[in-house]
Chain A
Amino acid sequence: MALLDVRNLSIDIITAQGKVRVIDKATLNIIDGSIHGLVGESGSGKSLIAKAILGVHNENWIVTADRMFLGNTDLLKLSSQDRRKVMGKEIAIIFQNPRSYLDPSKKIFDQMREVLPVKKSKIQFLNKMVSKSTHKQIIKELLHKVGVQNDQEVVRNYPHELSEGICQKVMIAMAIANNPRLLIADEPTTSMEAVTQAQIFRLLYKLNQLHNTTILLLSNNFGSISNLSDYISLIYCGQTVESGSYKQIINSPMHPYTQAMIKTILDYDENLHHKSQLYTLPGSIPPANQLPIGCRLGPRCPKAERTCVTNPQAVNYKGHVIRCHFPTLDEK
């Protein structure tokens, strides 16, 4: 069953130069209990999609969508107060650079306390007395869940005293405090080194396996998350180019962009000559105010032809959705 169903999500941003369509009809279908990878290079609009789903966008964004359902609730029809209740409780988000999202002037304990679910008791003053010790216990459990062993020390520290990896773990602990149905991880491991990165990914994977948390995992590196995700969507300059299950994407990539991304996983079973030139698409990513019309990959695409100046329609091959005029179709 689809937990999150987003259809034709478009985001226009009003700038001094006029309206810019940064996200063009993105479709996202996240199955309950899966890890969904959303891969795109920086500037492709992954974070914008995440923010639009959560509803934390700016006033100068125009978000339109044909359909945006979380389970059975229509997110588009909710008032902003109701939307606020969904935030954190149903959908939680963790960001990149965790240190910049934690409050630098508060200790970890006080910050984590703020996000804990409120249990209202009838007697007010009793409530206050009990809460601190119970909170301590809950926070301890949460931190253990995300693999922080020395919890006593961590809760007494300020964010700047902790390493980036620990901060990210604290962020994850805060995100799962309310048992959200969907956890959005917005590039959780950028600027971390390989060992910490593996820890964070393993933690997310465990959360998914043990607690059945649905995770939308955003990343700019196809290689690092493809192994982890059950479903993968690729996005280029605000257009979703291909999406499907892990097997479909890895075994039969149809879009030229996906094929280029798969080549970025340097696999040593293939005979790639040592120190040979690596495969990249020609050109570079266009800036958001100079996007080409039609298929935005057009000028860089090895297969581009004249029809590529019109926007391709999404075609669905048994759950493998692709937007390209000239996909590589499997003959089998």
Chain B
Amino acid sequence: MQPLLNINNLSKSYRKSNGLFSSSLECAYEDISFSLDKGKTLSIIGESGSGKSTLVQTIAGLRTQTCGDIFLQGKSVNQLTVQERCKSIRMLFHAPSESLNPKSKIGRILTAPLKLNSNMTAIERDAQVKNTLSLVGLLPDYLDFYPNMLSNVQQHQVALARAMILDPDIIIADEILAGLDISLRFKLINLLLNVQERKGVSLIVVAHNMSLVRHISDHIIVMHEGRIVENDVTENVYNSPKSDKTKHLLQSHKPDYRK
């Protein structure tokens, strides 16, 4: 069976100035290859500066790669139009309070992607917005609210609704758990798992918390300095890590002071 997303030797480097006349190429990540099946969760972990965020932003289409290809259901994304691409890959950003427009109501935030990317009539759009809101566990009353009137978790719910509204195949979550309390993290994780189960969407998660990553993901990629150092099924990574970097990450996550 063909995988949903296939990444082939993806590399990105950018020019960095070294003084007045010289510049050099700095590598963000190189030779990244992996694939993702439908309904599965892939987690990308690694220290900061290892190129995780740049990589997922490239997959979402916010940045361009230097070389390499991204295949979506066997088709290169270069052949797809922007609309087709953003219909199938959606992204959740780090802080929803910054990624939601503070000046527009939730209803407008949610209908905008439908207006831009689909040929739905106003009635169909309305129905889709309400369905998606109930999918993420919000009441239709919230349509007339502004983002700043909602709590942090509710903003995350709205951001997820905006991502889900076009029925995408893949959702990319870039460190959405970092700024939340532990119980709110659990709520958001529950919501993501719930949505995945009901809609069969694939997830790409960039995260730090190792035990949560273990719980939600089927497959894990460990990155270090722009390269993949480990790429395996979750249980294998946790039970028998091959690379030293992974061991180090795992160890620093659960230091035991009571030995």
Contacts and interface: CB of A to CB of B under 8 A. Distances in A.
A278 B189 contact: yes
A266 B178 CA distance: 17
Given A275-B193, A277-B194, A280-B187, A266 B255 contact: no
A278 to B, nearest CB: 4
Interface stretch (B59-67, B97-105, B118-126, B208-216): B208-216
B175 to A, nearest CB: 10
Given A277-B190, A277-B193, A201 B255 contact: yes
A332 interface: no
Interface string A211-238: 0000000001111000110000000000
B2 interface: no
A280 B181 contact: no
B48 interface: yes
Nearest to B192: A275
Given A227-B256, A275-B193, A277-B190, A191 B178 contact: yes
A1 interface: no
A110 to B, nearest CB: 29
A281 B183 CA distance: 8
B3 interface: no
A329 interface: no
A193 interface: yes
Contact of A228 (B190, B253, B257): B257
Contacts of A317: none
A165 B179 CA distance: 17
Given A41-B183, A266-B214, A193 B208 contact: yes
Contacts of B253: 194, 198
A265 B251 CA distance: 16
Nearest to A257: B183
B252 to A, nearest CB: 4
Interface of B: 41, 47-48, 151, 153, 178-179, 181-184, 186-187, 189-190, 193-194, 208-212, 214-216, 248-249, 251-253, 255-258
Which 10 residue pairs are nearest across A and B when measured between Cβ atoms?
A198-B252, A266-B211, A278-B186, A41-B181, A195-B252, A280-B186, A264-B182, A277-B190, A194-B253, A221-B182
